Amino acid sequence: MFPKNFVWGAATASYQIEGASQEDGKGLSIWDVHTHDLRKSAYGQTNVAHEDTGDIACDFYHRYRSDIALMKAIGIKAFRFSISWPRVLPEGTGNINEKGIAFYNDLVDALLEAEIEPYVTLFHWDYPQALQMRGGWLNPESPEWFAEYTKCVTDALSDRVTHWMTLNEPQCHILLGHMQGVCAPKLQLTEPEGLLAMHHILMAHGRAVEVLQKHAKKKPEVGVAFCQGSLIPDSDRPEDVEAARAAFFSGADRQLWSPSWWLDPIVFGKYPEDGLQSYGEEVPKELLDQEQMDVISKPIDFIGINCYNAEPVCAGADGKPIRVRTQEGAALTANKWAVTPRALYYIPKFEFERYRLPIYITENGMSGTDWVCLDGKVHDSYRIDFMHRYLQCLQKAIEDGVDVRGYLTWSLMDNLEWNNGYTERFGLIHVDYPTQKRTLKDSAYWYHSVIRDNGANI
Protein backbone atom coordinates (compact mmCIF):
# COMPACT_ATOMS: atom_id res chain seq x y z
CA MET A 1 0.00 0.00 0.00
CA PHE A 2 1.01 3.60 -0.45
CA PRO A 3 1.35 5.66 2.75
CA LYS A 4 -1.81 7.22 4.12
CA ASN A 5 -1.18 10.83 3.15
CA PHE A 6 0.58 10.06 -0.10
CA VAL A 7 0.27 13.01 -2.49
CA TRP A 8 -1.08 12.16 -5.94
CA GLY A 9 -0.73 14.92 -8.48
CA ALA A 10 0.33 16.18 -11.87
CA ALA A 11 2.98 18.60 -13.04
CA THR A 12 3.39 21.32 -15.66
CA ALA A 13 5.63 24.34 -16.38
CA SER A 14 4.79 27.92 -17.28
CA TYR A 15 6.27 28.21 -20.77
CA GLN A 16 4.91 24.82 -21.78
CA ILE A 17 1.26 25.59 -20.99
CA GLU A 18 0.49 29.25 -20.28
CA GLY A 19 0.60 31.00 -23.65
CA ALA A 20 -0.27 34.71 -23.36
CA SER A 21 3.39 35.24 -24.01
CA GLN A 22 3.06 38.96 -24.72
CA GLU A 23 0.01 39.73 -22.68
CA ASP A 24 -0.66 41.86 -19.61
CA GLY A 25 2.86 43.21 -19.38
CA LYS A 26 4.82 39.95 -19.45
CA GLY A 27 8.48 40.38 -20.41
CA LEU A 28 10.29 38.11 -22.84
CA SER A 29 11.95 34.94 -21.69
CA ILE A 30 14.87 33.22 -23.37
CA TRP A 31 12.40 30.58 -24.60
CA ASP A 32 10.30 33.24 -26.35
CA VAL A 33 13.46 34.31 -28.14
CA HIS A 34 14.57 30.73 -28.86
CA THR A 35 11.27 29.61 -30.37
CA HIS A 36 11.01 32.74 -32.52
CA ASP A 37 14.50 32.36 -33.93
CA LEU A 38 13.61 30.80 -37.27
CA ARG A 39 17.15 30.54 -38.62
CA LYS A 40 17.85 27.06 -39.87
CA SER A 41 20.75 24.81 -38.98
CA ALA A 42 22.92 23.17 -41.63
CA TYR A 43 20.39 20.32 -41.57
CA GLY A 44 17.55 22.71 -42.39
CA GLN A 45 16.06 22.61 -38.90
CA THR A 46 14.80 25.47 -36.78
CA ASN A 47 15.36 25.51 -33.02
CA VAL A 48 11.96 24.02 -32.38
CA ALA A 49 10.22 21.34 -34.45
CA HIS A 50 7.53 22.59 -36.82
CA GLU A 51 8.49 26.18 -35.90
CA ASP A 52 6.22 25.81 -32.87
CA THR A 53 6.24 28.46 -30.14
CA GLY A 54 4.74 28.86 -26.67
CA ASP A 55 2.84 32.00 -27.76
CA ILE A 56 -0.50 30.28 -27.16
CA ALA A 57 0.50 26.80 -25.95
CA CYS A 58 -2.46 25.39 -23.97
CA ASP A 59 -3.76 28.88 -23.32
CA PHE A 60 -3.73 27.98 -19.63
CA TYR A 61 -3.43 31.68 -18.79
CA HIS A 62 -7.05 32.11 -19.87
CA ARG A 63 -8.37 28.61 -19.29
CA TYR A 64 -7.00 27.73 -15.86
CA ARG A 65 -10.44 27.66 -14.26
CA SER A 66 -11.82 25.02 -16.62
CA ASP A 67 -8.51 23.14 -16.42
CA ILE A 68 -8.80 23.07 -12.64
CA ALA A 69 -12.28 21.59 -13.07
CA LEU A 70 -10.65 18.80 -15.13
CA MET A 71 -8.00 18.27 -12.43
CA LYS A 72 -10.81 17.94 -9.94
CA ALA A 73 -12.60 15.43 -12.17
CA ILE A 74 -9.42 13.33 -12.32
CA GLY A 75 -9.15 13.59 -8.54
CA ILE A 76 -5.73 15.23 -8.49
CA LYS A 77 -4.68 16.34 -5.01
CA ALA A 78 -1.64 18.40 -5.95
CA PHE A 79 -0.80 20.54 -8.96
CA ARG A 80 2.80 21.37 -9.70
CA PHE A 81 3.20 24.48 -11.85
CA SER A 82 5.96 26.99 -12.34
CA ILE A 83 5.94 30.75 -12.19
CA SER A 84 7.12 32.65 -15.23
CA TRP A 85 9.80 34.96 -13.85
CA PRO A 86 9.39 37.54 -16.65
CA ARG A 87 5.61 37.57 -16.16
CA VAL A 88 6.19 38.73 -12.60
CA LEU A 89 9.28 40.87 -13.19
CA PRO A 90 9.36 41.77 -16.91
CA GLU A 91 12.96 42.99 -16.68
CA GLY A 92 13.96 40.20 -14.30
CA THR A 93 14.48 42.66 -11.45
CA GLY A 94 12.94 46.00 -10.49
CA ASN A 95 9.42 46.76 -11.69
CA ILE A 96 6.78 44.30 -10.56
CA ASN A 97 4.05 43.42 -13.05
CA GLU A 98 0.93 43.46 -10.89
CA LYS A 99 -1.13 41.70 -13.54
CA GLY A 100 1.33 38.83 -13.54
CA ILE A 101 1.12 38.57 -9.77
CA ALA A 102 -2.69 38.73 -9.99
CA PHE A 103 -2.72 35.75 -12.35
CA TYR A 104 -0.79 33.54 -9.93
CA ASN A 105 -2.83 34.81 -6.99
CA ASP A 106 -6.05 33.86 -8.74
CA LEU A 107 -4.61 30.52 -9.83
CA VAL A 108 -3.63 29.63 -6.26
CA ASP A 109 -7.05 30.71 -4.93
CA ALA A 110 -8.86 28.66 -7.56
CA LEU A 111 -6.72 25.60 -6.79
CA LEU A 112 -7.34 25.84 -3.07
CA GLU A 113 -11.03 26.34 -3.66
CA ALA A 114 -10.97 23.04 -5.57
CA GLU A 115 -9.00 21.47 -2.69
CA ILE A 116 -5.94 21.01 -4.84
CA GLU A 117 -2.62 21.77 -3.17
CA PRO A 118 -0.33 24.10 -5.17
CA TYR A 119 3.27 22.89 -5.60
CA VAL A 120 5.15 25.89 -6.94
CA THR A 121 8.38 25.74 -8.94
CA LEU A 122 10.08 29.13 -9.00
CA PHE A 123 12.17 28.50 -12.09
CA HIS A 124 11.49 26.06 -14.91
CA TRP A 125 13.86 27.41 -17.59
CA ASP A 126 12.00 30.52 -18.87
CA TYR A 127 14.74 32.92 -17.79
CA PRO A 128 14.11 36.64 -18.36
CA GLN A 129 15.71 37.74 -21.62
CA ALA A 130 16.57 41.10 -20.02
CA LEU A 131 18.81 39.31 -17.51
CA GLN A 132 20.31 37.10 -20.21
CA MET A 133 21.44 40.34 -21.86
CA ARG A 134 23.19 41.20 -18.59
CA GLY A 135 25.21 38.01 -18.66
CA GLY A 136 22.62 35.61 -17.22
CA TRP A 137 23.99 32.96 -14.88
CA LEU A 138 27.55 34.02 -15.61
CA ASN A 139 26.95 37.31 -13.85
CA PRO A 140 27.99 37.08 -10.17
CA GLU A 141 24.91 39.16 -9.31
CA SER A 142 22.61 36.50 -10.75
CA PRO A 143 21.94 34.71 -7.42
CA GLU A 144 20.78 38.06 -5.98
CA TRP A 145 18.46 38.62 -8.96
CA PHE A 146 16.87 35.29 -8.18
CA ALA A 147 16.61 36.18 -4.49
CA GLU A 148 14.78 39.40 -5.40
CA TYR A 149 12.37 37.51 -7.64
CA THR A 150 11.82 34.86 -4.93
CA LYS A 151 11.05 37.58 -2.38
CA CYS A 152 8.47 39.05 -4.70
CA VAL A 153 6.74 35.66 -5.19
CA THR A 154 7.04 34.83 -1.49
CA ASP A 155 5.35 38.12 -0.53
CA ALA A 156 2.52 37.40 -2.94
CA LEU A 157 1.81 33.71 -2.42
CA SER A 158 3.31 32.37 0.80
CA ASP A 159 0.20 33.03 2.86
CA ARG A 160 -1.38 30.15 0.90
CA VAL A 161 1.43 28.19 -0.78
CA THR A 162 3.55 25.96 1.44
CA HIS A 163 5.22 23.58 -1.06
CA TRP A 164 8.03 25.12 -3.03
CA MET A 165 10.66 24.00 -5.50
CA THR A 166 13.37 26.52 -6.25
CA LEU A 167 14.62 25.14 -9.58
CA ASN A 168 13.61 22.56 -12.12
CA GLU A 169 16.39 20.44 -13.60
CA PRO A 170 19.16 23.02 -13.59
CA GLN A 171 21.23 20.24 -15.21
CA CYS A 172 19.27 20.49 -18.45
CA HIS A 173 19.15 24.27 -18.30
CA ILE A 174 22.90 24.63 -17.79
CA LEU A 175 24.24 21.62 -19.69
CA LEU A 176 21.88 21.61 -22.67
CA GLY A 177 21.26 25.35 -22.70
CA HIS A 178 24.63 26.82 -21.77
CA MET A 179 27.24 24.20 -22.64
CA GLN A 180 25.89 22.07 -25.47
CA GLY A 181 24.00 24.87 -27.22
CA VAL A 182 20.87 22.79 -27.78
CA CYS A 183 18.23 24.56 -25.71
CA ALA A 184 17.71 28.23 -24.86
CA PRO A 185 19.83 30.34 -24.50
CA LYS A 186 21.81 28.13 -26.91
CA LEU A 187 25.26 28.99 -25.59
CA GLN A 188 28.39 26.92 -25.90
CA LEU A 189 30.37 28.13 -22.94
CA THR A 190 33.80 26.82 -22.13
CA GLU A 191 33.86 24.19 -19.39
CA PRO A 192 35.08 26.58 -16.64
CA GLU A 193 32.37 29.06 -17.64
CA GLY A 194 29.80 26.26 -17.56
CA LEU A 195 30.96 25.32 -14.05
CA LEU A 196 30.58 28.93 -12.97
CA ALA A 197 27.04 29.13 -14.39
CA MET A 198 26.22 25.93 -12.50
CA HIS A 199 27.70 27.39 -9.33
CA HIS A 200 25.69 30.59 -9.64
CA ILE A 201 22.41 28.79 -10.24
CA LEU A 202 23.11 26.64 -7.18
CA MET A 203 23.78 29.82 -5.19
CA ALA A 204 20.50 31.20 -6.53
CA HIS A 205 18.81 28.06 -5.19
CA GLY A 206 20.40 28.61 -1.79
CA ARG A 207 19.42 32.28 -1.68
CA ALA A 208 15.84 31.32 -2.58
CA VAL A 209 15.77 28.78 0.26
CA GLU A 210 16.95 31.52 2.63
CA VAL A 211 14.37 34.02 1.40
CA LEU A 212 11.52 31.52 1.67
CA GLN A 213 12.56 30.38 5.14
CA LYS A 214 12.87 33.95 6.34
CA HIS A 215 9.87 35.64 4.73
CA ALA A 216 7.20 33.02 4.06
CA LYS A 217 4.01 33.73 5.93
CA LYS A 218 3.24 30.03 6.33
CA LYS A 219 5.96 27.57 7.22
CA PRO A 220 7.37 26.52 3.86
CA GLU A 221 8.50 23.09 2.76
CA VAL A 222 11.29 23.79 0.27
CA GLY A 223 12.95 21.46 -2.20
CA VAL A 224 14.41 21.36 -5.66
CA ALA A 225 13.51 19.17 -8.66
CA PHE A 226 16.38 17.36 -10.33
CA CYS A 227 16.88 14.99 -13.20
CA GLN A 228 19.86 12.64 -13.14
CA GLY A 229 22.19 10.95 -15.51
CA SER A 230 20.35 7.83 -14.60
CA LEU A 231 22.12 4.52 -14.18
CA ILE A 232 20.50 1.51 -12.57
CA PRO A 233 21.69 -2.02 -11.95
CA ASP A 234 20.85 -4.54 -14.62
CA SER A 235 19.98 -7.10 -11.92
CA ASP A 236 19.38 -7.02 -8.17
CA ARG A 237 22.68 -8.84 -7.51
CA PRO A 238 24.53 -6.85 -4.81
CA GLU A 239 27.64 -6.40 -6.97
CA ASP A 240 25.54 -4.92 -9.80
CA VAL A 241 23.71 -2.65 -7.36
CA GLU A 242 26.98 -1.34 -5.93
CA ALA A 243 28.49 -0.86 -9.38
CA ALA A 244 25.43 1.11 -10.46
CA ARG A 245 25.42 3.19 -7.29
CA ALA A 246 29.10 4.06 -7.70
CA ALA A 247 28.61 5.04 -11.34
CA PHE A 248 25.45 6.99 -10.54
CA PHE A 249 27.22 9.19 -8.00
CA SER A 250 30.53 9.43 -9.76
CA GLY A 251 31.41 12.98 -10.74
CA ALA A 252 34.64 11.81 -12.35
CA ASP A 253 35.37 12.19 -16.06
CA ARG A 254 33.56 15.52 -15.96
CA GLN A 255 30.22 13.71 -15.51
CA LEU A 256 28.22 16.86 -14.82
CA TRP A 257 24.97 14.91 -15.20
CA SER A 258 25.71 13.00 -12.02
CA PRO A 259 23.49 14.06 -9.09
CA SER A 260 26.64 14.36 -7.00
CA TRP A 261 27.53 17.58 -8.83
CA TRP A 262 24.18 19.12 -7.87
CA LEU A 263 22.96 17.49 -4.68
CA ASP A 264 26.28 17.05 -2.86
CA PRO A 265 26.84 20.83 -2.77
CA ILE A 266 23.29 21.39 -1.55
CA VAL A 267 23.21 18.62 1.06
CA PHE A 268 26.88 18.20 2.00
CA GLY A 269 28.16 21.69 1.15
CA LYS A 270 30.84 20.52 -1.28
CA TYR A 271 31.30 19.43 -4.86
CA PRO A 272 32.31 15.80 -5.44
CA GLU A 273 36.03 15.34 -4.96
CA ASP A 274 36.43 13.06 -7.98
CA GLY A 275 34.58 15.63 -10.05
CA LEU A 276 36.77 18.54 -8.98
CA GLN A 277 39.85 16.44 -9.67
CA SER A 278 38.68 15.73 -13.19
CA TYR A 279 38.72 19.48 -13.90
CA GLY A 280 41.98 20.14 -12.05
CA GLU A 281 43.21 23.67 -12.63
CA GLU A 282 40.13 24.54 -14.66
CA VAL A 283 37.90 24.66 -11.57
CA PRO A 284 36.85 28.30 -11.00
CA LYS A 285 37.94 29.49 -7.56
CA GLU A 286 34.35 30.32 -6.62
CA LEU A 287 33.55 26.59 -6.41
CA LEU A 288 36.04 26.28 -3.56
CA ASP A 289 34.86 29.34 -1.64
CA GLN A 290 33.49 28.24 1.72
CA GLU A 291 31.17 31.23 2.15
CA GLN A 292 29.60 30.60 -1.22
CA MET A 293 29.23 26.91 -0.43
CA ASP A 294 27.43 27.93 2.78
CA VAL A 295 24.92 29.85 0.67
CA ILE A 296 24.31 26.79 -1.52
CA SER A 297 23.90 24.36 1.34
CA LYS A 298 21.03 25.92 3.26
CA PRO A 299 18.96 23.02 4.64
CA ILE A 300 16.13 21.86 2.41
CA ASP A 301 13.07 19.76 3.24
CA PHE A 302 12.85 17.37 0.31
CA ILE A 303 14.37 16.29 -2.97
CA GLY A 304 12.22 16.30 -6.10
CA ILE A 305 13.09 13.54 -8.53
CA ASN A 306 12.14 13.83 -12.18
CA CYS A 307 12.50 10.31 -13.50
CA TYR A 308 11.73 8.93 -16.93
CA ASN A 309 14.23 6.22 -17.71
CA ALA A 310 17.66 4.86 -16.91
CA GLU A 311 20.49 2.94 -18.45
CA PRO A 312 21.34 -0.45 -16.99
CA VAL A 313 24.87 -1.26 -15.85
CA CYS A 314 26.41 -4.36 -14.33
CA ALA A 315 29.61 -5.04 -12.41
CA GLY A 316 32.57 -6.05 -14.56
CA ALA A 317 35.14 -8.58 -13.38
CA ASP A 318 36.96 -5.81 -11.43
CA GLY A 319 33.66 -4.58 -9.90
CA LYS A 320 33.70 -1.49 -12.14
CA PRO A 321 30.42 -0.70 -13.90
CA ILE A 322 29.85 -1.75 -17.49
CA ARG A 323 26.96 -0.42 -19.57
CA VAL A 324 24.61 -3.19 -20.60
CA ARG A 325 23.38 -3.04 -24.15
CA THR A 326 19.57 -2.96 -24.19
CA GLN A 327 17.83 -5.77 -26.04
CA GLU A 328 16.97 -5.42 -29.68
CA GLY A 329 13.52 -3.95 -30.09
CA ALA A 330 13.19 -3.01 -26.39
CA ALA A 331 10.14 -0.91 -25.54
CA LEU A 332 10.51 2.78 -26.40
CA THR A 333 8.22 5.79 -25.99
CA ALA A 334 7.47 8.19 -28.86
CA ASN A 335 10.61 10.21 -28.16
CA LYS A 336 12.67 6.98 -28.16
CA TRP A 337 13.27 6.89 -24.42
CA ALA A 338 13.53 3.34 -23.11
CA VAL A 339 10.79 2.06 -20.84
CA THR A 340 12.69 1.16 -17.65
CA PRO A 341 10.29 1.01 -14.68
CA ARG A 342 13.02 -0.10 -12.27
CA ALA A 343 14.37 3.43 -12.49
CA LEU A 344 11.56 4.40 -10.15
CA TYR A 345 12.82 1.87 -7.64
CA TYR A 346 16.54 2.46 -7.75
CA ILE A 347 16.82 6.20 -8.24
CA PRO A 348 14.70 7.17 -5.20
CA LYS A 349 16.46 4.42 -3.23
CA PHE A 350 19.97 5.55 -4.19
CA GLU A 351 19.20 9.20 -3.47
CA PHE A 352 17.43 8.48 -0.20
CA GLU A 353 20.27 6.30 1.04
CA ARG A 354 22.84 8.96 0.22
CA TYR A 355 21.04 12.16 1.19
CA ARG A 356 18.50 10.96 3.81
CA LEU A 357 15.86 13.48 2.75
CA PRO A 358 12.20 12.88 1.97
CA ILE A 359 11.48 12.46 -1.72
CA TYR A 360 8.74 13.54 -4.06
CA ILE A 361 8.59 12.17 -7.58
CA THR A 362 8.09 15.54 -9.21
CA GLU A 363 7.89 14.18 -12.78
CA ASN A 364 7.36 10.79 -14.41
CA GLY A 365 5.44 9.97 -17.53
CA MET A 366 5.78 9.20 -21.20
CA SER A 367 5.67 10.81 -24.58
CA GLY A 368 3.11 9.45 -27.04
CA THR A 369 1.59 10.44 -30.34
CA ASP A 370 -1.96 10.16 -29.01
CA TRP A 371 -4.95 11.22 -31.05
CA VAL A 372 -8.70 11.36 -30.56
CA CYS A 373 -10.21 8.17 -31.99
CA LEU A 374 -13.41 7.83 -33.99
CA ASP A 375 -15.32 7.17 -30.78
CA GLY A 376 -14.17 10.53 -29.43
CA LYS A 377 -11.84 8.98 -26.84
CA VAL A 378 -8.06 8.79 -26.49
CA HIS A 379 -7.03 5.17 -25.99
CA ASP A 380 -3.55 5.48 -24.50
CA SER A 381 -3.34 2.01 -23.01
CA TYR A 382 0.48 2.15 -23.22
CA ARG A 383 0.51 5.16 -20.86
CA ILE A 384 -1.61 3.24 -18.35
CA ASP A 385 0.80 0.32 -18.62
CA PHE A 386 3.80 2.63 -18.33
CA MET A 387 2.51 4.35 -15.19
CA HIS A 388 1.36 1.07 -13.69
CA ARG A 389 4.78 -0.55 -14.10
CA TYR A 390 6.65 2.50 -12.77
CA LEU A 391 4.29 2.86 -9.80
CA GLN A 392 4.75 -0.81 -8.91
CA CYS A 393 8.48 -0.14 -8.63
CA LEU A 394 7.93 3.03 -6.63
CA GLN A 395 5.70 1.10 -4.26
CA LYS A 396 8.45 -1.45 -3.78
CA ALA A 397 10.92 1.33 -2.95
CA ILE A 398 8.49 2.63 -0.32
CA GLU A 399 8.10 -0.88 1.10
CA ASP A 400 11.88 -1.10 1.31
CA GLY A 401 11.99 2.01 3.47
CA VAL A 402 12.44 4.90 1.02
CA ASP A 403 10.58 7.95 2.31
CA VAL A 404 8.56 8.93 -0.78
CA ARG A 405 5.88 11.49 -0.04
CA GLY A 406 4.19 11.91 -3.41
CA TYR A 407 3.99 11.26 -7.12
CA LEU A 408 3.35 14.09 -9.59
CA THR A 409 2.98 12.73 -13.08
CA TRP A 410 4.29 14.56 -16.12
CA SER A 411 2.08 15.93 -17.36
CA LEU A 412 -1.40 17.13 -16.58
CA MET A 413 -1.96 17.91 -20.25
CA ASP A 414 -0.19 17.77 -23.58
CA ASN A 415 2.02 20.80 -23.95
CA LEU A 416 5.00 22.37 -25.71
CA GLU A 417 7.74 19.77 -25.40
CA TRP A 418 10.60 22.28 -25.69
CA ASN A 419 12.60 21.72 -28.89
CA ASN A 420 10.16 19.02 -30.00
CA GLY A 421 7.30 21.50 -30.02
CA TYR A 422 3.83 19.98 -30.07
CA THR A 423 4.96 16.83 -31.86
CA GLU A 424 5.00 14.88 -28.60
CA ARG A 425 2.24 14.41 -26.08
CA PHE A 426 2.92 13.68 -22.40
CA GLY A 427 -0.51 14.57 -20.96
CA LEU A 428 -3.30 12.79 -19.16
CA ILE A 429 -5.44 15.29 -21.02
CA HIS A 430 -5.31 15.55 -24.80
CA VAL A 431 -5.17 19.10 -26.17
CA ASP A 432 -6.36 19.82 -29.69
CA TYR A 433 -4.28 22.95 -30.22
CA PRO A 434 -6.28 24.65 -33.01
CA THR A 435 -9.51 24.50 -31.01
CA GLN A 436 -7.99 24.17 -27.51
CA LYS A 437 -10.48 21.37 -26.89
CA ARG A 438 -9.50 19.12 -24.00
CA THR A 439 -10.23 15.37 -23.92
CA LEU A 440 -9.47 13.20 -20.93
CA LYS A 441 -7.38 10.26 -22.11
CA ASP A 442 -8.03 6.72 -20.88
CA SER A 443 -4.99 7.19 -18.63
CA ALA A 444 -6.74 10.08 -16.86
CA TYR A 445 -9.67 7.78 -15.96
CA TRP A 446 -7.24 5.11 -14.84
CA TYR A 447 -5.26 7.60 -12.73
CA HIS A 448 -8.55 8.68 -11.17
CA SER A 449 -9.05 5.15 -9.85
CA VAL A 450 -5.46 4.97 -8.62
CA ILE A 451 -5.90 8.17 -6.63
CA ARG A 452 -9.33 7.16 -5.35
CA ASP A 453 -7.94 3.87 -3.99
CA ASN A 454 -4.63 5.36 -2.87
CA GLY A 455 -2.77 3.01 -5.22
CA ALA A 456 -4.42 -0.18 -3.92
CA ASN A 457 -4.91 -1.29 -7.54
CA ILE A 458 -1.21 -0.94 -8.42
Minimum Å gap between C-beta 143 and ligand BGC is 21
Chosen residue from 84, 158, 255, 306 binding ligand BGC by CB under 6 A? 306
Give the separation between CA 427 and CA 441, rounded to whole angstroms.
8
82 vs 297, beta carbon nearer ligand BGC? 82
Minimum Å gap between C-beta 13 and ligand BGC is 5
46 vs 168, beta carbon nearer ligand BGC? 168
Question: Quick check: is 328 catalytic?
Answer: no
Binding mask 364-403 for ligand BGC (x = CB under 6 A): ----------------------------------------
Binding mask 328-367 for ligand BGC (x = CB under 6 A): -----------------------------------x----
The answer to whether residue 227 forms part of the interface with ligand BGC (CB under 6 A) is: yes
CB-based contacts of 45, cutoff 8 Å, min separation 6:
none
47 vs 93, beta carbon nearer ligand BGC? 47
Minimum Å gap between C-beta 255 and ligand BGC is 18
Minimum Å gap between C-beta 86 and ligand BGC is 17
Among 18, 117, 169, 221, the active-site one is: 169
The answer to whether residue 13 forms part of the interface with ligand BGC (CB under 6 A) is: yes
52 vs 240, beta carbon nearer ligand BGC? 52
Minimum Å gap between C-beta 16 and ligand BGC is 6
Residue-wise over 429-443: b if at least 16 C-beta within 10 A, else e?
Answer: bbbeeeebebbbbbb
Three-state helix/strand/coil letters over the chain: CCCCCCEEEEECCHHHHCCCCCCCCCCCEHHHHHHHCCCCCCCCCCCCHHHCCCCCCCCHHHHHHHHHHHHHHHCCCEEEEECCHHHHCCCCCCCCCHHHHHHHHHHHHHHHHCCCEEEEEEECCCCEHHHHCCCHHHCCCHHHHHHHHHHHHHHHHCCCCCEEEEEECHHHHHHHHHHCCCCCCCCCCCHHHHHHHHHHHHHHHHHHHHHHHHHCCCCCEEEEEECCCCEEECCCCHHHHHHHHHHHCCCCCCCCCCCHHHHHHHHHCCCCHHHHHHHHHHCCHHHHCHHHHHHHCCCCCEEEEECCCCEEEEECCCCCEEECCCCCCCCECCCCCECCCCHHHHHHHHHHHHHCCCEEEEECCCCECCCCCCCCCECCHHHHHHHHHHHHHHHHHHHCCCCEEEEEEECCECCCCHHHHHHCECCCEEEECCCCEEEEEHHHHHHHHHHHCCCCCC
Minimum Å gap between C-beta 45 and ligand BGC is 18
13 vs 440, beta carbon nearer ligand BGC? 13
Binding mask 407-436 for ligand BGC (x = CB under 6 A): ---x------x--------x----------
16 vs 29, beta carbon nearer ligand BGC? 16
The answer to whether residue 126 forms part of the interface with ligand BGC (CB under 6 A) is: no
Torsion-angle region of 131 (φ positive above 0: left; ψ -120 to 50: alpha; else: beta) = alpha
The answer to whether residue 32 forms part of the interface with ligand BGC (CB under 6 A) is: no
- # residues near ligand BGC by CB under 6 A: 11
Binding mask 145-174 for ligand BGC (x = CB under 6 A): -----------------------xx--x--
Minimum Å gap between C-beta 350 and ligand BGC is 19
225 vs 231, beta carbon nearer ligand BGC? 225
The answer to whether residue 78 forms part of the interface with ligand BGC (CB under 6 A) is: no
Among 221, 363, 417, 424, the active-site one is: 363
Question: Quick check: is 363 catalytic?
Answer: yes
**Interaction site with ligand BGC (CB under 6 A):** 13, 16, 168-169, 172, 227, 306, 363, 410, 417, 426
> What residues are labeled active site?
169, 363
